[in-house]
Structure formats: C-alpha cells, structure tokens
Structure 1
C-alpha cells in the first residue's frame, strides 16, 4: 500500500466543502482540518504508485476551492496502530 500525505491550501470560504468532497474521493482515507500555514491534510492510500496521479492530480487538486497541493510519500510507518495490525495478521512471527 502506498501512502501519500497531501497538504492542501484552500480558499477560506470553501474549507468545509473541500474537506467533505476530498473525503469522498476513492483513495482518500482521511481528511483533517489543521492549524498553521495549511488548511487541510489528506491521507491518500492506494495499492500502486500509478494511481496517485489519478487521485491527487486528476481529482483532489481539481476540487473547487483548492488553491495548491503539496504531496509527500511515506516510506515507512512507525505508528503503534500499524504495528498492532501487523502482529494481529501474524506478520510479526
């Protein structure tokens, strides 16, 4: 599974609508409204790299109100949640 973290700048008047529309895109697992220089952060999870362009460039960046996106690819997850899931599947044996 490929995970991308997408930082999204949005027109201020459209933040809730963009968040909702983004969350409904296939491949977007979560959308967070955040403090700071960025308005939203979307987590994109797809099986193959080739699918990232379809989700991010073709759909997410074209949602009305999106001004700019920055995408970061995750190399490795260190979260407790992911580690517990791996052991539950028997990957730790």
Structure 2
C-alpha cells in the first residue's frame, strides 16, 4: 500500500468545489481544508506507485482551479489509530 499526502493550492473562491471533486476520486481516502500555505490536504491510499502517478498526473490534472500541488510519500505510520488497527488484525 502506498500512502501519500497531497497538498494543493486552489483559487480561493473555488476551494469547496475542488474539495468535493477530490473527495469523489477513488484513491483519495480523506480530503481536508487546511490553514497555512496550502488550501487542501488530501490523503491518497493506493496499491502502487503507478496508481499514485495516475491519480496525480491524470485525475488531479483534470480539475480546474488547482494552482499548485506538492506530493509527499509516507514511509511509516506512527499514529495510535494506525497502530491499533494493525494490532487488531494480528500483525
């Protein structure tokens, strides 16, 4: 499983519209409006790097009003939520 955090800068008056389109894309498990240098943070969870590449370069590229993106790959999860889930399946 490949997990990535995708940060997006959006034209201000279209943030809600873009967030709704992002939330409908398979492979994006969570979409958040955020404060700071970016407007939206999306969590991608896909099976392969090829799927991530397709998601970013094809699906996101089709959405109007996205000005800039930055994609960060996650290496390891440390949150309690993820650790509890791992132990509950006997890993």
Do both proteins adopt the same fold according to a TM-score greater than 0.5, normalized to the shorter chain?
Answer: yes
Structure 1: gaps (5+ residues): none
Comparing 57-66 with 35-44, greater Cα deviation is found at 57-66
Runs of 4+ in 1 over 4 A off after TM superposition: none
User: Quick check: 1:82 aligned with 2:82?
Assistant: yes
Following superposition, the deviation at residue 61 of structure 1 comes to 3.2
Task: Provide the residue aligned with 1:20 in structure 2.
Answer: 20
Following superposition, the deviation at residue 90 of structure 1 comes to 0.3
3-state SS, counterpart of residue 57 of structure 1? helix
Q: Within 5 A, what are the aligned runs for 1:39-50?
A: 39-50=39-50
Mapped partners of 2:82, 2:70: distance in 1 = 24
Structure 2: gaps (5+ residues): none
Would you say the 8 A contact 1:8–1:40 is kept in 2? yes
Length-normalised TM-score, structure 2? 0.96
Greater helix share, 1 or 2?
2
Task: Provide the residue aligned with 1:54 in structure 2.
Answer: 54
Would you say the 8 A contact 1:61–1:69 is kept in 2? no
Task: Provide the residue aligned with 2:31 in structure 1.
Answer: 31
Mapped partners of 2:44, 2:61: distance in 1 = 13
RMSD between superposed Cα atoms in Å? 0.7
Aligned residues: 91
Task: Provide the residue aligned with 1:5 in structure 2.
Answer: 5
